[in-house]
Amino acid sequence: MPHPDADVVIAGCGPTGAMLAAELRLHGIHVIVLDKDTEPAPASRIVGLHIRTLELMAMRGLLDRVLEHGRRRPAAGFFAAIPKPAPDDLGTPYAYMVGIPLPVINRILADHATGHGADIRHGHPVTGLRQDDDGVTVELAHGERLRARYLVGCDGAHSTVRRLLGVAFPGEPSRNDTLMAEVETGTPPEEIAAVMARLGDHHQRLWLRPAGPGLYTVVVPAADVTDRTQPPTIDDVRERLHALTGTDFGVHSPRWLSRFGDATRLADYYRLGRVLLAGDAAHIHPPIGGQGLNLGVQDAVNLGWKLAAHIRGRAPEDLLDTYHAERHPVAAAVLDNTRAQMELSAAEPGPRAVRRLLTELMDIDAVNRRLIEKITAIDIRYDFGAGPDLLGRRLPDIAVKHGNLYGLLRHGRGLLLDRTERLTTGGWSDRVDHLADPTAALDVPAVLLRPDGHVAWIGDDQRDLEGHLARWFGEGLSLPDSFTK
């Protein structure tokens, strides 16, 4: 292959693309990120970062910046907006949600990527691709071509990369559009509360919630949309509020406005040859529950270290295939839970009856906990074969000597957390760190963590450990006997 312009070209510099670029740069992979927009969008909606994404931010040293620019709210009321409190103990110090403007989290993640050396180029839409056994040729709108070992499409719901690749995107088109905005209103809060109480449960997709002094977040069903290419206006919001409630609450001065539908689709494949898909390019669903951005960022952290290892020649043969095997079922589960939530938000008597029943059932702690864990992605267990329940799950940010666990994962390496003080990473020490700590808040002898924080092995036998090191991190280096003694 001719000398490539980059190891990886990423199409799209939203949160997924920027996070993936940073993950690859942690391993020294040369990355070019192409974004069709000439500059980042100046204003957009507030998005929510759920527990698992906050854990990943903590792992990579980004959480303080996120908290500086975001607003915390309790980890509750996510499933179909049913107002139930969070369970008492979710087993994480990050048991909250952070609301943050989309342009702000985009900027934080883009700065994180460029800070690690990623090359981000705005105003460079991808228009064509051609792959062969050695790499991918990426064609740009103005005639330029780039050559890379791999291409990853992180270019959103209308992904050019997915279309050019010919990957099917089956599912359901949008049937119900919704308007969302952050606005000011002169109506007293008690009057707003009285109107909403009068409506009861007849309009689950209609609500006004305080978003700051004098500010409200408005969600309201849209009328039939004839042209989705046109952005919504404050007059659209006023008209729909008045039609459904008899008042427009005097809303004015929108901070942002958006329209979304409930289209639900999942790509058949996340990888074909040297081209991969992540984020909204691979899956779309209604934003109810606030899972979309989180799902994409988690795709990026799952994929980054695997693709880097593959490029550097240190990956087991099937490691890159585990990206689709692990993340495709996770997305399918998110699509299912958003379908269910949309049904529970319908105004017909049947869905309203089911909603009332589920509201009662959520008073049972186990039911409420299960739904919160599902929405916040802390329930994920990848299939690593038979073993204890912890195997395949993410390890929470437990206390270890000299600090906390996630502080040890900042560089995107694996970690052997060893309470026995007898084990060693041996020939894998160039890519897996080792902390011997008998005081670690862990009830098993030792765990091997992947760079994404999921538990890949549990035990206390060195030979068994080495088999799992090879399974996830490739062949170990040969070390002199004196080095391992």
Q: Please check whether residue 275 is in contact with residue 150, taking contact to mean a CB–CB distance below 8 angstroms.
A: yes
- Dihedral Cα 350, 356, 361, 365, nearest 10 deg: 140
Positive or negative torsion for Cα 279, 345, 249, 85: negative
* Under-50 pLDDT residues of the chain: 482-485
Q: What is the pLDDT of residue 482?
A: 44
Q: In angstroms, rounded to a whole number, what is the distance separating the alpha carbons of residues 339 and 7?
A: 38
The residue count of the chain comes to 485
Taking CA atoms, 352 is separated from 262, 343, 349, 358, in Å, by 19, 9, 5, 10
> What's the rounded Cα separation, in Å, for the pair 130 and 137?
5
Given this model, what pLDDT does residue 207 score?
80
User: Which of 338, 287, 377, 335 minimizes the C-alpha distance to 51?
Assistant: 377
Q: Does domain 6-172+265-376 match CATH 3.90.470.20?
A: no
Dihedral sign computed on CA atoms, order 139, 144, 149, 150: negative
Please tell me the predicted confidence (pLDDT) of residue 485: 45
* pLDDT value of position 88: 87
> CA quadruple 276, 279, 283, 284: dihedral positive or negative?
negative
Q: Identify the pLDDT of residue 1.
A: 54
Percent of the residues in the chain that have a pLDDT greater than 90, as a whole number:
79
428-470: pLDDT as tens digits:
999 999 999 999 999 999 999 999 999 999 999 999 999 999 9
Q: How many CB atoms lie within 10 A of CB 415?
A: 22
User: Where along the chain do its domains lie?
Assistant: 6-172+265-376, 178-260, 399-484
**Class of the CATH-defined domain 178-260:** alpha beta
Per-residue confidence (pLDDT) for residue 479, from 0 to 100: 66
Displacement of CA 389 from its chain's centroid (Å): 23
Q: Tell me, what's the pLDDT at 199?
A: 80
pLDDT for residue 469: 98
Which CATH number does the domain 399-484 belong to among 3.40.30.120, 3.40.309.10, 3.40.50.880, 3.40.50.300?
3.40.30.120
* CA 86 to each of CA 97, 276, 337, 479: distance values in angstroms, whole numbers, following the listed order: 11, 36, 18, 50
Tokens of 479: 């070390």
Whole-structure pTM value: 0.93
Strand order in the sheet with 432-436: 432-436, 414-418, 446-449, 455-458
